[in-house]
Amino acid sequence: MCEECLVFTQRSQLSTVRHSRAYGHFSYIYPVISRRSRGLSIGVNLSLDNRCNYNCIYCEVDRSAPAAAAQVDPEALGQELYQMLSDLSPHSPALRDVTFAGNGEPMAVRCLDHCIDLAADTLDALGFADIPVVVITNGTFIHRPWGKRALARLAAAGGEVWIKLDAGDQERMTRINSTLFPLEKLEENIFDASRVLPVTLQSMFMKRWGQPPSDEAVDRYIGCLNRLTEAGAVIAGVQVYTVARQPRLSHITALDAPALEAIVSRIRTETGLPAASFA
Ligand code: SF4
């Protein structure tokens, strides 16, 4: 769930610094200028312990440092969000969304539904009723009872879900995301989520040992998108992106903009889905 960004180093002041999810004395909330939100996004990190059920080869989260306790306090989160939104001045960039992302998988948190309600209510109370709540997820908890509750609350709040899909075959998914979660189940979860609310897919393409993804890897990925749409999944769009900063694995590097755009072009032509690249 990593994001290239500009971070507020002081209230109402932007600077280009390495992304940190620490902001003042806040535990959960951090402001970023997000490429994919195309403006100011208020991020919500529910993974205070920095844990994730994936271990993506491109992940930029530093898990070597001691982490805080895992327990989420929704009321404290709500207070931080209220304070952050109250601090936005007329000179702040336009707010685009409030996004649950952070240092791990937000849908692993069982009170995510409550946190979504709090975020939507806070936006409403402070005059930001038209600003959506977004959840960025790897999709592996969508079939769980708390995942279903979260999606239902998100849909009721007029929000969006952005789901990670980095490969179109099991072997590559296992290698890229370092997970044994079945791709078939992920596709089922994407399909089920799309029956509840708009789904945007987020797909990471990168170089490994200096090599771009093979044509076969992109073929299999496009095949996966076509399986989803042919099954009736409603996909609002596909975001194709690459690494923004050096991941902990030094052989993972960014794909150049023309190569990303070539993948986007293939998605548009071969699936008919809206797609955009974020170099
Ligand atoms: S899903 Fe992958 S990129 Fe996102 S936090 Fe987990 S390991 Fe990192």
- Please give the pLDDT value at position 21: 57
Expressed in angstroms and rounded, the spacing between residue 51 Cα and the centre of ligand 1 is 9
The closest-lying atom of ligand 1 relative to the alpha carbon of residue 204 is: 3
CATH number of the domain where residue 204 is located: 3.20.20.70
Q: Which residues pair with 6 in a beta bridge?
A: 33
Expressed in angstroms and rounded, the spacing between residue 178 Cα and the centre of ligand 1 is 10
- Please give the pLDDT value at position 89: 74
Q: Is 190 helix (H, G, I), strand (E, B) or coil?
A: helix
Q: What share of the chain is helix, strand, coil (3-state, %, to 5)?
A: 35, 25, 45
Expressed in angstroms and rounded, the spacing between residue 126 Cα and the centre of ligand 1 is 32
* pLDDT in single tens digits along all 279 residues of the chain: 444 333 443 333 433 333 455 667 899 999 998 877 788 999 999 999 999 999 999 998 888 877 767 789 999 999 999 999 998 877 788 899 999 998 999 999 999 999 999 999 999 999 999 999 999 999 999 999 999 999 999 999 999 999 999 999 999 999 999 999 999 999 999 999 999 998 999 999 999 999 999 999 999 999 999 999 999 999 999 999 999 888 889 999 999 999 999 999 999 999 999 999 988
Protein residues whose CB sits closer than 6 Å to any atom of ligand 1: 1-2, 52, 54-56, 59, 61, 104-105, 138
* Distance, CA of 110 to CA of 97 (rounded, Å): 22
Other beta carbons within 10 Å of 7: 20
The closest-lying atom of ligand 1 relative to the alpha carbon of residue 58 is: 3
**Number of structural domains the chain divides into:** 1
- Please give the pLDDT value at position 192: 98
Expressed in angstroms and rounded, the spacing between residue 54 Cα and the centre of ligand 1 is 6
Name the residue range of residue 66's domain.
Answer: 5-278
Expressed in angstroms and rounded, the spacing between residue 89 Cα and the centre of ligand 1 is 32
Pick left, alpha or beta for residue 38 (phi over 0 → left; psi -120 to 50 → alpha; otherwise beta). Answer: left
The closest-lying atom of ligand 1 relative to the alpha carbon of residue 1 is: 4
Q: What is the DSSP letter of 107?
A: G
- Please give the pLDDT value at position 128: 94
The closest-lying atom of ligand 1 relative to the alpha carbon of residue 178 is: 7
| Tokens describing residue 67 | 């982490």
